[in-house]
Amino acid sequence: AYLNNLVTITCTTGDCSLCGHFGYTYLDFSCGTTTSSQFCVSANSVVVVAPLEPGATYSWIPTGQSTQSVTVNPQIIDTISVYVNPPSGCGYFVNFVLEPTVITAALTYTTGCTSANFTGLTTITGGTISSYSWSFPGGSPSSSTSLTPPPITYSPGTYTVTFNVVSQAGCTAASTPVVITIQPAPVVNAGADVSACMGNTVQLNGSGTPSGGTYSWSPPANLNNSTIANPTVGPFTTPATYTLTYTTSSGCKNTDVINLGIGAEPQAIFNYTLSLTCEGISALFSESSLFSTSWFWDFGDGSTSTLQNPPPHVFPYNGVYTVMLIASNAACRDTLVTPIVIGDINTFITVKPTNVFTPNGDNLNDCFKPIVGGPNAAELEKCLTMEIYDRWGIKLFESTGGNVCWDGKTKSNTKAKDGTYYYLIEIAGNTYKGYLTLVRDKK
C-alpha cells in the first residue's frame, strides 16, 4: 500500500531529560512485496522465479535454497518467500502465494438446415483466460479462436464439436464433445407452371417433405388461403408468380416458385360431310379449331372420341343428333355444338320398281329390278333384299348377295306363268311392297 509513497517514521525515547542519559533508537528496515503465482490445479510442481538483481544473493524460505528460481510442490507448499540481497546492501523480501488455477469449458449451440451457431462458456479462478480454440470437423470454417464463432456451415449429417480454453499460466480445459445433427433442407414443390384462361380459377398443388411442416404462399393476394398446400387463385386476370415456403417442424425451410400465365383462348371449329350407308348416315368430321391441343367429341348418341379427326361416325336414320366438340389447350377450352338432323331414308333415295316386265329373252325388260335413285344409290343397292310371292303366298324368289333381279323363274328354275305377283323390298330398314305383272310374248 506504501509503494511509491513517502513514508515518515517518528521515534520517541523515554530517557531524554537535561543532564540525563543519552538515548539511542536503532531502526533496521527491510522492504518486501507479496505476489501470486498461479499453477494448474492438477500440477505437482511449480517453478517460482525471484526478481533478477545482478550480483544479488537469494535465500528461499522455507526451502533454504539460494538460486534465483526454485521448484516446489504446490500440493505441499502454498506460500514461499525469498530474500534478495543486492550488492547495495538494501535487501528485500518477495513473498509468493501459490494459487491454483481452476478452469472449466462448456458450450451451447443451435442448429439450422445448413449451419450451426456456437457460444463458449468458461469459468476460471486464480488466473485469466488467454485463448480459445474451437474444432469443427466437416464445417466451414473448420476452426475458430473466438469465444463466439461466426455461424458454421455444414452439409446434412452428424458432426462432433469440441471447445478448448488456455489460461495465462498454460492451464487448459476442454468441453465435453458435442454431437450435432444437421438436417437436410426440406423438399418443396410448388407445382408445374400453369397457363390459365382469363377469369378462370386455378388451383395450386404444392407439396413438402418430410411431412408435418407448414406452408406459406406469397404474395397472399388473390389466394383463398395462403397457409395450405393447395390454395386456389382466382379469378385469374393477370400473369403472376407465387413463392411457396415450406418449413419443417425443426425450423428448416426451403422455397419453390410457380409462374401463372395467361393462355391463348381456343376457338372450336369443325365441318362435316354426310354419305349414305346401309346402316345409316356416315358423317366424316374435319376439325380446324384455333389454339387447341386436345379435343373431345360427343356425337349425341352415347359415343365419344378424343381424336382430333375421328373416323367416320354412322348415325342411324330418322333422328336428331347434337354433336359437341370441346377444343382445349393447357389453360382454356371452347365448345361448339351443332345439331345434325338425319331423316328417314326416303328423304335421300327413291325406290321405283317397274310394274310390268317381259322375261322373254330379248334382253329388253327381261328382269324385274327396283330402281334406286339418289346419292350413293349404288352403295345402297348392296344392302337391298327382295322377295317375290305368287297370289297364294308361295315364295318364288329371294335375292342373295346383292342379286336383286328376278328373271321370272321359280326356285326350281321353271318359268313362272303370266300373271300378277307380289314383291317385298327392304333397304336400310325400310320396306317397299307392291304388285307386278309378268307378261311373256306369245309366239
Average pLDDT over residues 235-250: 90
Q: What is the CATH number of the domain that holds 314?
A: 2.60.40.10
DSSP 44-66: S-EEEEPPP-TT-EEEEETT---
Question: CA separation (Å) from 206 to 13, 332, 424?
Answer: 104, 22, 71
Residue at 195 is within a domain: yes
Residue at 356 is within a domain: yes
Residue at 20 is within a domain: no
Residue at 106 is within a domain: no
pLDDT at position 387 over 80: yes
Total domain count, the chain: 3
Residue at 384 is within a domain: yes
Residues 221 and 249 in one domain: yes
Return the closest-CA partner of residue 210 out of 191, 187, 190, 239. Answer: 187
pLDDT at position 196 over 90: no
* Residue 370 phi, psi dihedral angles, 5° rounding: -70, 145
Average pLDDT over residues 328-352: 85
Query: How confident is the model at residue 1, as a pLDDT?
Result: 46
Q: How confident is the model at residue 388 (pLDDT cuts 50, 70, 90)?
A: very high
Q: How confident is the model at residue 394 (pLDDT cuts 50, 70, 90)?
A: very high
Residue at 394 is within a domain: yes
* Residue 380 phi, psi dihedral angles, 5° rounding: -70, -30
Pairing of strands 194-196, 172-174: unpaired
C-alpha cell at 201: 380459377
Q: How confident is the model at residue 221 (pLDDT cuts 50, 70, 90)?
A: confident
Comparing 343 with 392, the larger pLDDT belongs to: 392
Tell me the per-residue pLDDT of 33-79, one tens digit each, with 9 for 90 and over. Answer: 777 677 787 778 889 999 999 999 999 999 999 999 999 988 888 89
Last residue of a domain, one of 293, 322, 343: 343
Degrees, nearest 5: CA angle 138-115-214: 135
Last residue of a domain, one of 316, 343, 370: 343
Question: Facing residues of 48 across strands?
Answer: 70
Residues 289 and 221 in one domain: no
Q: Which residue range forms the structural domain that includes residue 254? A: 189-262
Residue at 90 is within a domain: no
Last residue of a domain, one of 204, 233, 262: 262
Residues 257 and 275 in one domain: no
